Structure 1
Amino acid sequence: MMKTRLKDLRISAGLTQKEVANAFGLKTVTYSRYENGVHKIPVKVILNIADFYDTSVDYILYRTDDSKPYPIN
């Protein structure tokens, strides 16, 4: 399931897999495998992706359909 949300976020931002991979210091093939559900994504990478797209980890993990990030106290 997570692969679809990652791809949707990337496409909505108008980015290529290579651009996103470069933003996180990953090889394009590594990011592609995350996006396509071939490899599990490390927690640190999920956190970075949530910050990058200004969303929540819960949104990426399908725990909510609200893409807004949580407020920081």
Structure 2
Amino acid sequence: MLASRLTYLRKECELTQAELSKKLKISRSAYSHYESGQHDPPISTLILLADFYGVSIDFLVGRTSSRKLYPK
């Protein structure tokens, strides 16, 4: 679920993996591994991604379908 959400959000922002990894200051290969599901990002990177996209970590990992950061 995480890999597909990362791909979806990145494409929605019309960014390449290289562009996104540069914005987040992580290597493109590391980010590529997250999107392909080969590796899980550390919590610090999950926080960075959630903040960048304005979503919760629960949304990123598939625990909720609500993109809202603080659903009520």
TM-score by length of 2: 0.92
Gaps of 5+ in 2: none
* Counterpart position of 2:45: 45
Report the CA distance between 1:39 and its aligned residue: 1.0
**CA distance, structure 2, for counterparts of residue 42 and residue 32 of structure 1:** 14
Runs of 4+ in 1 over 4 A off after TM superposition: none
Give the structure with the higher percent helix.
2
3-state DSSP of counterpart to 1:33: helix
Q: Percent identity?
A: 38
**CA distance, structure 2, for counterparts of residue 57 and residue 19 of structure 1:** 21
Deviation readout 1:6-36 (Å, 9 max, x if unpaired)? 0000001111101111112111111000111
Gaps of 5+ in 1: none
- Structure 1 vs Structure 2 CA RMSD: 1.1
Number of paired residues?
A: 71
3-state DSSP of counterpart to 1:59: helix
Report the residue type matching 1:24 in the other structure.
Answer: L
